[in-house]
Structures are given as structure tokens and as C-alpha cells.
Structure 1
């Protein structure tokens, strides 16, 4: 539609099933490149992507014509298949059900991008569970423990 403008930034987070640390350093960068291709093919702008061994953060300029659930499903199914086809993981790899999605303003782009790009270093100091619960609370998101990612004692 003519004269329609939008600007939205979304921060996606999802975890490996059972929070297994299956994303290895040897292929994490290739996974990030592969997922970047999916994000761009779906019409979004990748701003930053960062993997930890058991989860991933993806920060995008969001194309409102492509719903987030569709994008997440595409990323999860395609990357699962890619990991299996390339035989990158000696164990059964899959993503957990569900995901988190948070909006950010234009003024937060640099801060969020730096945060996403430094996931491995960040989690030396703070566990994924602590971080995730903190983000939910900071964004005033009501949640039920039963429906969170599977968190196992560190």
C-alpha cells in the first residue's frame, strides 16, 4: 500500500531441546550464517545473531508482512534439517517448542545488537535460566513455570 511506513525491531530467543549444549564452536558460525539466509529470504533484516551452546538470540528489523510464528517455524525446521544433513551434531538435535519475542525501539539497536553478539561471554557470568527469567520480568511478561523452556540444574 502506498504511503505506508513501519519500523519494528524484534529480539527472538529459543533453546536447544532439553537445553543440551549441542551448538559447537566448530559450526556455530555456519549455523548463524545459515539462519541469516533464512531471515533475509523471509524479508527481514538481520541486525545481530548470537549463539550460545544451548540457545540462540536473533535480532531483526521486522517485516510486518511476515508473521513471527512463521519465521520462527521456518528457522527451526530448516536449521534442524541443515544440522542433520550436514551431520554436524553426533546427538539428536532439535529446538525446544516455543520461543520468546521482544520488541525494541530504534534507540536500543546498538545496545541489543552488542548484547546478542556477546552471548558466549555473557553466559560465563550469568546462566541462561537467570537471564531468561530476568528478561521476562523486566518486560513484565506473566508466565507459568510449566510452560517455560526445560531448565535443568546447572
Structure 2
């Protein structure tokens, strides 16, 4: 797209279906590398990726040539397929339906990167549900608790 200039930074957050703890510590780096490849192949810029056994945070610099929903769909479907092909777990791995997307300015990136990198520290005192609800409130997003999560 000639003469199109943008600076769009989005933190994407989504959970394992049922918020189950299925992303093992010894496999998460392989999963993150695979997701990095998906983002790179879509010609988007991965800035940070990390998570916990039940959810993931991805900070991307996104270009206006792809919709956010399409990018997240591709990340979730391709990574689910990859995880299932590896047969790392009994049963079928799936990501939960939906995702959170939160936008940031360039001056906020260092804080967001540190937040994503320090997921284990944050979750010593806060559950994923508490963290996600706090994001929704911070960004003034209307939500209904009964639609936030699919429980096991």
C-alpha cells in the first residue's frame, strides 16, 4: 500500500479452552517460536510473547493490510494444529473462542513488554481471570462476566 503509514501496537490475549493448564513449561518455547513464524509469515512484527500454562500474551506491531481478527484466527488455528500434530498431550488441544485486544502508543511499549515478560511474577498474586477482567476495566470495555470464559 503506497503512501500508507501506520504505527499500530496491539496486545493480544487469549486462553486455552476451559482455561486448562495445557501449555507446559518445556513446550512453551516451541509453541512461541511457531506462533512467531505465523506472525512473521503474515508480514507482521512480533514484539513480545509470553504466557502461562492457561493463556498467552502477544504484542504485535500490526500493519493495516490484515485484519486483527484474521491474524488471531490464523495464530490460533495454526498453532492448535501444530500442537495436536506434536501429540504433546492426550486429547485435543484447543484455544478458547474469542480474544482480547488492547492498543498502545509507542511510548508505552517498554512497560507492556516488561509486563508480558514478567507473567510468572504477576500470576503469583493474580489469576488469569482477575488479570483479564482488570484489562477490560482499564480499557473501559463493556463486558458480561458470563461470556468471558468457557469453563471446563
Common topology (TM > 0.5): yes
Which secondary structure does the structure 2 equivalent of 1:25 belong to?
coil
CA distance in 2 between partners of 1:98 and 1:16 (Å): 11
- Following superposition, the deviation at residue 149 of structure 1 comes to 1.6
RMSD: 1.3
Indicate whether 1:59 and 2:59 are aligned: yes
- The residue that corresponds to 1:124 in the other structure is 124
What does 1:64-79 align with in structure 2 at a 5 Å threshold?
A: 64-79=64-79
Q: How far does the alpha carbon of each residue in 1:42-79 deviate from its partner, in whole angstroms, 9 at most, with x for none?
A: 11100000020000000000111110111111011111
Tell which deviates more after alignment, 17-26 or 119-128: 119-128
- The residue that corresponds to 2:9 in the other structure is 9
CA distance in 1 between partners of 2:21 and 2:104 (Å): 28
- Following superposition, the deviation at residue 3 of structure 1 comes to 2.6
- The residue that corresponds to 2:28 in the other structure is 28
- The residue that corresponds to 2:103 in the other structure is 103
CA distance in 1 between partners of 2:139 and 2:117 (Å): 21
Indicate whether 1:49 and 2:46 are aligned: no
Q: What TM-score does the superposition give when structure 2 sets the normalisation length?
A: 0.95
- Following superposition, the deviation at residue 13 of structure 1 comes to 0.3
Gaps of 5+ in 1: none
The number of equivalent residue pairs is: 152
CA distance in 2 between partners of 1:86 and 1:151 (Å): 25
- Following superposition, the deviation at residue 83 of structure 1 comes to 0.5
CA distance in 2 between partners of 1:64 and 1:98 (Å): 21
Q: What TM-score does the superposition give when structure 1 sets the normalisation length?
A: 0.94
Structure 1 segments of 4+ aligned residues over 3 angstroms from their partners: none
CA distance in 1 between partners of 2:34 and 2:23 (Å): 14
- Following superposition, the deviation at residue 92 of structure 1 comes to 2.5
CA distance in 2 between partners of 1:117 and 1:136 (Å): 20
